[in-house]
Amino acid sequence: MNFDVVIVGGSYAGISAGLQLARARRKVLVVDAGERRNRFAAQSHGFLGQDGREPGAIAAEARVQLECYPSVAWVEGRAEGARRIEGGFTVDLGNGRVKTARRLVLAAGVSDSLPDIPGLRERWGRSVFHCPYCHGYELEQGRIGVLAVSEHSIHHGLMLPDWGTTTLFTNGVFVPDAEQLRQLAVRGTTVEPALVREIRGERADVVLEDGRVVALDGLFTMPRTSLQIPWVEQLGCELDAGPMGAFIRTDAMKQTTARGVFACGDIARAAGSVALSVGDGAMAGAATHRSLMFEAD
């Protein structure tokens, strides 16, 4: 075997897993395609000691610290697939390059697809967001929209009044029932049933089909998420359904349903953050080390 562990994905979760393994003097390869989920945002919030910092800077500093350990190797690129072999796994790095390892850690995150409304995508991470804890505070109690994508969006509509004056654009995807309307009224959320035509302006003004324009400081919506590695199921990893998309099922130690395969970060939870990814990564790293010490290959 070339390595004890190959980690697919070298962002917050993968680097955190790698740190534990490197500190246990294990041979680790990190393969990273360099497309962090939060690359659209200028600042990352809510992570201890790094609040408000540029998200790429947090990851870059973590990478430098990980690469100080001599048993760590790093490849920039995409793992095209992985397959179980006797005693471990092969990982296909493309162009005929294949590496072997006794264990795999999957930390490849998810990618987001947004509702197909003109003007939405280019504002993602700047004035269009998903997570109020990450980006709500900076809206300074201003005018906030929630663009519904399904009935789940009611939760956004009920939460966001804590961050500003909120309008829920149901956009034809659902009609709130009497009880939901009562809950929204209690929270002070305005419901706007007209269809949304486009998002425009410096922040995220909503243009409705009937021509009205609702000026906003920020807009929240729920993306659909998809796993960045389509080959996880071939490894025997079972998935769970989340409100935004499927994620890899793990136990509390971040072991997947496939022997020898661990998963951490956004790829392995219903909704993630930098802090949760780092925590999951630390757990996955320690659990992978435990498996190397005490379980058969």
Chain residues binding ligand FAD by CB under 6 A are: 8-14, 31-38, 40-41, 44-47, 78-79, 107-109, 112, 124-125, 131, 134, 228-229, 265-267, 272-275, 277
8 makes contact, choosing from ligand FAD, Mg ion, none, with CB < 5 to 8 Å by partner type, with: ligand FAD
* Main-chain dihedrals φ then ψ at residue 236, nearest 5 degrees: 95, 10
114-120, Cβ contacts within 8 angstroms, sequence gap of 24 or more: 114/221, 114/223, 115/147, 115/149, 115/171, 115/221, 117/147, 117/196, 117/197, 117/198, 117/199, 118/197, 118/198, 118/199, 119/198, 119/199, 119/200, 119/204, 120/147, 120/199, 120/219, 120/221
Instruction: Closer to Mg ion by CB, 59 or 219: give it.
Output: 59
What's the CA gap between 191 and 170, in Å, rounded? 7
What's the CA gap between 251 and 254, in Å, rounded? 5
Angle of helix 12-23 versus helix 274-294 axis, rounded to 10: 40
Span 2-41, contacts to Mg ion by CB under 5 A? 9, 11, 13-14
- Cα-to-chain-centroid distance, residue 155: 19
Nearest approach, Cβ of residue 125 and ligand FAD (Å): 3
Span 96-125, contacts to Mg ion by CB under 5 A? 107
Span 151-170, contacts to Mg ion by CB under 5 A? none
103 makes contact, choosing from ligand FAD, Mg ion, none, with CB < 5 to 8 Å by partner type, with: none
* Main-chain dihedrals φ then ψ at residue 115, nearest 5 degrees: -55, 145
Nearest approach, Cβ of residue 218 and Mg ion (Å): 27
88 makes contact, choosing from Mg ion, ligand FAD, none, with CB < 5 to 8 Å by partner type, with: none
Nearest approach, Cβ of residue 57 and ligand FAD (Å): 13
Pattern 53-92, binding to Mg ion, x per CB under 5 A? ----------------------------------------
- Residues in contact with Mg ion by CB under 5 A are 9, 11, 13-14, 107, 265
